[in-house]
């Protein structure tokens, strides 16, 4: 079937008042046919007119608003494009409590027709600017055995405008991402939600006139695809210095797997494991992975540098996590792991214990750091879930009063009991102990004791012939899988420290497993993380690593 070519040029002015600055979206070009639309009177920040060169109209249909923890406010403007079926243009203005604003723009072309929307975004009423691109340092795709190729790279760069030789504004500019929705719907109605990346590109222009600087980009859709773009505007410097920004680029590139570039109003998309389904022929499947919806590296950077950019990203992550969870009690993985589906018949959505632990710890620390009491509850809420899972029997029983909580399960639904991996088991137990230390409630300590009993009951069975730890124990009590190196080791060392403060009599098995795994890693010349080295030295295992610091 041949595709019609459709060109839409929209005039959409989004006026954002930021301190003393004025920031506008303005889409404009002459066209043979002019259609006008008026917005609700209370939406005085948005003026819109539309010009289209085909029979298809584009019109404003809806404005929605949403607050997150009294720190972030979203306004989303939705426009319908008269294709068959209807396509959508959505512009979300996300305002942070410091006045800075993200703008997320998404063209969702649900037809098989070509669409083009040209965006012209006036940035400042001045013609002086500088651009610091991320590409000033080497960049490129990320390759690993687990995900194969991740073709996303980094944001475009940091634009700084000047007026009368003084700083005027900062703009962090993202790249454009074109993708297709490859969501798979199962017979029971469950869905595995993924996108296939078509391209990342930085086809952006900075247009300068005598008294204006504008960002221009074209959203060119080939039909049945989605195009995303994002930016962050501030009347203040996002980084205290150029060197601070360059330091962030270097950190970003070194830890690309922990950082995001493809942001949307619904959260960031990242390359997922090869076993995620559905798997397109290109194997370029991307999803909202809870490991990266939270921003662990950004949190670390903000604690060290106190930079405005990282503050904005932290609150953006909080908003994304709340939006991801919606009205559910916990965070559910929204795409299916093919291996998990084949072995246990568990399809998305389901709960991944380690992911929920990570989200809870991230929100607890962020809430403490930024003074947001509403999100600190995440730690206690997840500890309550682990208590309920123990009570409901979604566990592997390995002895009298000795249990291991399964890695994956359905919340308040019957589902097969899955394996328990050592790192998941330790992570959940550590969270329970931390919650007990904070609240003093016996139910958390009682559940943690049952888990440590399970670890103790199995004892040396956790060890391979080489002295490393097995990755997992299966419901039939068989062991399998090559374990993580540093992750499980640091989990055990953290558990050791927590038990030493609460009940030192429960630490013998942990000490035995730590010693064996550490010796194995040293013997195999496997690099230890700085955190693992610090914990080993602090807990009396320094001789094993020959005093490394």
For residue range 167-193, list pLDDT tens digits in order. Answer: 999 999 999 999 999 999 999 999 999
Q: Is the pLDDT of residue 15 over 90?
A: no
Choose one of 289, 307, 335: the last residue of a domain.
Answer: 289
In whole angstroms, give the CA distance from residue 344 to residue 130: 55
Strand partners, 76: 64, 92
In 42-165, the DSSP E strands lie at 46-52, 58-68, 72-81, 87-96, 101-109, 115-124, 128-133, 142-144, 148-150, 157-163
* Same-domain check for residues 377 and 503: yes
Is the same domain home to 439 and 510? yes
Whether residues 16 and 159 share a domain: the answer is yes
Last-in-domain residue among 238, 266, 289:
289
Model confidence band, residue 146 (pLDDT cutoffs 50, 70, 90)? confident
- CATH code of the domain containing 359: 1.50.10.20
What confidence category does residue 43 fall into, taking pLDDT thresholds of 50, 70 and 90? very low
Q: Are residues 425 and 514 in the same domain?
A: yes
* Secondary structure letter of residue 529 according to DSSP: P
The rounded percent of the chain whose pLDDT value lies above 90 is 73
Higher-confidence residue of 546 and 298: namely 298
Report the alpha-carbon distance of residue 10 to residue 511 in Å, rounded.
66
Query: Does any domain span residue 439?
Result: yes
Does the residue 307 lie in any domain? no
What's the confidence (pLDDT) of residue 547? 60
Q: Mean of the pLDDT values across residues 424-431?
A: 96
Cross-strand bridge partners of residue 169: 161
- What Cα–Cα distance (Å) separates residue 95 from each residue in 73, 169, 231, 312? 5, 16, 12, 9
Q: Which residue has the higher pLDDT, 58 or 157?
A: 157
More confident residue, 472 or 29: 472
Does residue 344 lie in a domain region? Answer: no
- Check whether residue 238 and residue 359 sit in a common domain: no
What integer is the mean pLDDT of 249-271?
A: 95
The model's pLDDT over 73-112, given as tens digits with 9 standing for 90+, comes to 999 989 899 899 999 999 899 999 999 999 999 999 999 9
Q: Please spell the DSSP secondary structure of 493-518, one letter per residue.
A: HHHHHHHHHH-GGG-HHHHHHHHHHH
pLDDT for 388 equals 92
* Domain presence at residue 239: yes
Are the CB atoms for 246 and 253 separated by under 8 Å? no
Q: What is the arithmetic mean of pLDDT over 421-425?
A: 97
Residue 129 corresponds to which tokens in the numbers above? Answer: 């600017």
> What does the pLDDT read at residue 148?
81
Q: Which of 272, 334, 277, 294 is nearest to 146 (CA)?
A: 272
Q: What is the pLDDT of residue 399?
A: 95
Percent with pLDDT over 70 in the chain = 89
CA distance 365 to 300: 10
Q: How confident is the model at residue 55 (pLDDT cuts 50, 70, 90)?
A: low
pLDDT band for position 414 (50/70/90)?
Answer: confident
Considering the domain architecture, whether residues 199 and 274 belong to the same structural domain is answered as yes
Q: What range defines the domain where residue 407 resides? A: 350-538
Whether residues 126 and 197 share a domain: the answer is yes
Does residue 278 have a pLDDT over 60?
yes
Query: Using CA atoms, how far apart are residues 424 and 344, in angstroms rounded to an integer?
Result: 18
One domain for residues 271 and 367: no
Residue 318 domain-assigned (yes or no): no
Residue (of 414, 395, 388, 372) closest to 330 by Cα position? 388
Judge if 96 and 207 occupy the same domain.
yes
Residue at which a domain ends, from 289, 307, 334:
289
Which among 229, 308, 214, 221 is positioned nearest to 265, based on CA atoms?
Answer: 229
Q: Is the pLDDT of residue 17 over 80?
A: no
Instruction: Identify the pLDDT of residue 7.
Output: 45
How far is it, in rounded angstroms, from Cα 238 to Cα 309? 5
Considering the domain architecture, whether residues 373 and 237 belong to the same structural domain is answered as no
Query: Coil, helix or strand for 32?
Result: coil
Structurally, how many domains does the chain consist of?
Answer: 2
Q: Do 380 and 526 belong to one domain?
A: yes
Judge whether 264 lies within some domain. yes
Q: What is the C-alpha to C-alpha distance for residues 55 and 83, in angstroms, rounded to an integer? A: 9
Inside any domain, residue 266: yes
Q: Within a 10 A sphere around the Cβ of 423, how many other Cβ atoms? A: 21
- According to DSSP, residue 294 is labeled S
Query: In this structure, is residue 303 part of a structural domain?
Result: no
Whether 45 and 171 share a structural domain: yes
């Amino acid at each position: 079937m041949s595709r019609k070519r459709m060109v839409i040029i929209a005039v959409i002015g989004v006026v954002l008042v930021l301190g003393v600055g004025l920031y506008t979206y303005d889409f404009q070009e002459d066209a043979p046919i002019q259609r006008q639309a008026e917005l609700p009177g209370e939406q005085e920040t948005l003026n819109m007119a539309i010009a289209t060169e085909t029979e298809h109209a584009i019109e404003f249909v809806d404005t929605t608003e949403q607050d997150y923890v009294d720190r972030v406010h979203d306004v989303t403007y939705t426009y319908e494009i008269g294709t068959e079926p209807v396509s959508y243009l959505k512009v979300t203005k996300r305002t942070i409590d410091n006045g800075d604003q993200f703008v997320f723009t998404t063209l969702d072309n649900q037809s098989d027709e070509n669409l083009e929307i040209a965006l012209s975004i006036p940035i400042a009423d001045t013609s002086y600017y500088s651009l610091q691109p991320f590409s000033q340092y080497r960049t490129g795709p990320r390759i690993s055995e687990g995900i194969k190729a991740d073709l996303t790279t980094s944001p475009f760069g940091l634009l700084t405008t000047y007026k009368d030789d003084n700083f005027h504004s900062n703009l962090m500019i993202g790249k454009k991402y074109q993708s297709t929705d490859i969501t798979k719907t199962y017979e029971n109605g469950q869905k595995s939600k993924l996108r296939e990346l078509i391209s990342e590109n930085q086809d952006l222009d900075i247009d300068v006139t005598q008294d204006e600087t504008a960002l221009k980009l074209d959203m060119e859709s080939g039909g049945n695809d989605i195009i995303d773009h994002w930016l962050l505007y501030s009347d203040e410097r996002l980084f205290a210095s150029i060197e601070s920004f360059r330091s962030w680029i270097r950190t970003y590139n070194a830890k690309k797997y922990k950082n995001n570039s493809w942001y949307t109003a619904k959260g960031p998309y990242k390359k997922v494991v090869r076993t995620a389904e559905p798997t397109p022929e290109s194997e370029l499947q991307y999803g909202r992975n809870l490991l990266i919806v939270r921003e662990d590296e950004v949190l670390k950077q903000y604690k060290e540098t106190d930079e405005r950019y990282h503050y904005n990203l932290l609150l953006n992550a909080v908003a994304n996590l709340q939006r991801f969870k919606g009205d559910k009690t916990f965070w559910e993985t929204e795409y299916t792991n093919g291996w998990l589906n084949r072995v246990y018949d568990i399809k998305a959505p389901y709960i991944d214990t380690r992911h929920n632990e990570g989200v809870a710890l991230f929100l607890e620390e962020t809430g403490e750091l930024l003074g947001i009491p509403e999100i600190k509850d995440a730690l206690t809420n997840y500890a309550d879930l682990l208590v309920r899972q123990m009570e409901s029997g979604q566990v592997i029983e390995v002895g009298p009063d000795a249990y291991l909580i399964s890695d994956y399960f359905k919340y308040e639904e019957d589902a097969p009991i899955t394996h328990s991996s050592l790192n998941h088991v330790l992570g959940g137990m550590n969270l329970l102990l931390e919650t007990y230390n904070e609240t003093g409630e016996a139910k958390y300590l009682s559940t943690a004791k049952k888990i440590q009993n399970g670890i103790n009951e199995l004892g040396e069975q956790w060890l391979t012939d080489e002295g490393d730890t097995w990755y997992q124990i299966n419901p039939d009590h068989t062991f399998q899988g090559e374990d993580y190196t540093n992750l499980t080791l640091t989990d055990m060392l953290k558990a050791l420290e927590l038990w030493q403060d609460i009940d030192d009599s429960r630490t013998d098995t942990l000490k035995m497993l730590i010693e064996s795994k550490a010796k194995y890693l040293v013997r195999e010349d496997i690099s230890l993380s700085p955190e693992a080295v610090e914990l080993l030295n602090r807990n009396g295992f320094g001789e094993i690593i020959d005093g490394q610091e």
